[in-house]
Amino acid sequence: MLAAPINPSDINRIEGVYPVRPPMPAVGGYEGVGEVHAIGSAVKGLSAGDWVIPSPPSSGTWQTYVVKEQTVWHKIDKRTPMEYAATVTVNPLSALRMLEDFVALKSGDTIVQNGATSIVGQCVIQLARLHGIHSINIIRDRAGSDEAKANLQQLGADEVFTESQLEVKNVRGLLGNIPEPVLGFNCVGGNAASLILKFLKQGGTMVTYGGMSKKPITVSTSAFIFKELTLKGFWLQRWMSSDKAEECRSMIDYLLGLCRDGKLKYEFEVAPFDDFHTALEKAMGKKGRQPKQVLKF
C-alpha cells in the first residue's frame, strides 16, 4: 500500500456502529492506492510496479502489504497524484452518483447542499459546475468561515451561506437570478437539513447521505403537503454491491482524469503512517476541523 485515507465510515466500523462489519480480527481502512509488489502465476494484465486501487473498495487498506485476488484490484494511470488515487472512491464517487441518480439535472438547474466544505461537498460544487449546474452551499458558523467561503467560491460555488445568514423567513430572496434548487444534499441533519428544505422548490428532492450532527431530520407538514418534497437516502456501499463493478471502475477513471487535468481538487493532509495516532485524532475531530487525513505508508 502507498496511501489510504481515514474516512468517518472507517472510524464507525472500528466503533462497531456501521451496518457492515468485517470478520474479526480485522484491519481498518476501506480505500487506498497500492503498487503491485508480486503476482501469482495465473495473473494476467497486471505487473510489478503497476498502481492499483481496490474497486469496489475492500476492507484492510491500513497496512503495508495486502494479498488479495486479482479481481479486487483496478489498475490506474500512474500519472495520477497519489493522494487523489487513494481517496477517489468513497467521496468523489458519492458526489458523482448523487448528482446523476435522483433528479435528471440539466444545465441551468440548481442544487443546494450543507456540509459544503467536506470532500463530497467540494466535489459536488466542481462536478456541478462542469455541467452548468448552479450550487448553493451552506456551512457552519465558525472561526474562519470567511476563508471557507472564499475557497468554495474559488472552486465554483455560486453562493455560500453560513447557517445564521439563513435565519430569515424568505431564503428565496437571497438567490437573486439563481433558480430555486430542484435537488438538495444533506450530510448534517438537524437544523442544517431544515435549511435545505427551505431552499428547495416545489416538488424538489432532498438526499441524505450522512448525519454529522447526530440530530434527526425534522420536516414540517407544509413541506410535504404544499411543496410536495421528496426525501431519499444514499449509501454508496449499497450502490456498489448491486453488480456495478465495471460501471464503478469507468467512473473512477473519469474522476481521476479530472484530477490529473486539475478540474477536480479537494483539501487533504498527508500524514506518515508512523504518526497515525495524530492523524486519527484529527480525523475524529479532537483537534477541531481538519482536512481529510491521508496516511502515507
Q: Which residues are known catalytic residues?
A: 18
Q: What residues contact 193, with CB distance under 8 A and at least 6 apart?
A: 114, 186, 206, 208, 217, 218
Helix axis angle, 245-260 to 91-101, nearest 10°: 110
SS3 content of the chain, % helix, strand, coil (to 5): 35, 20, 45
* φ, ψ dihedrals at 256, nearest 5°: -65, -35
Question: How many C-alpha atoms does 209 have within 13 Å on its Cβ side?
Answer: 28
| Contact indicator for 69, 42 with CB cutoff of 8 Å | no
Report d(CA 204, CA 267) in Å as an integer.
30
Report d(CA 131, CA 114) in Å as an integer.
20
Own/partner contacts of 275-282, CB < 8 Å, gap of 24 or more, are: 276/62, 279/6, 280/6, 280/11
C-alpha cell at 274: 508512523
Q: What residues contact 137, with CB distance under 8 A and at least 6 apart?
A: 112, 113, 116, 121, 125, 152, 157, 159, 160, 161
Report d(CA 127, CA 65) in Å as an integer.
34
Strands 230-233 and 205-208: parallel
Three-state DSSP class for residue 288: strand
Report d(CA 64, CA 122) in Å as an integer.
30
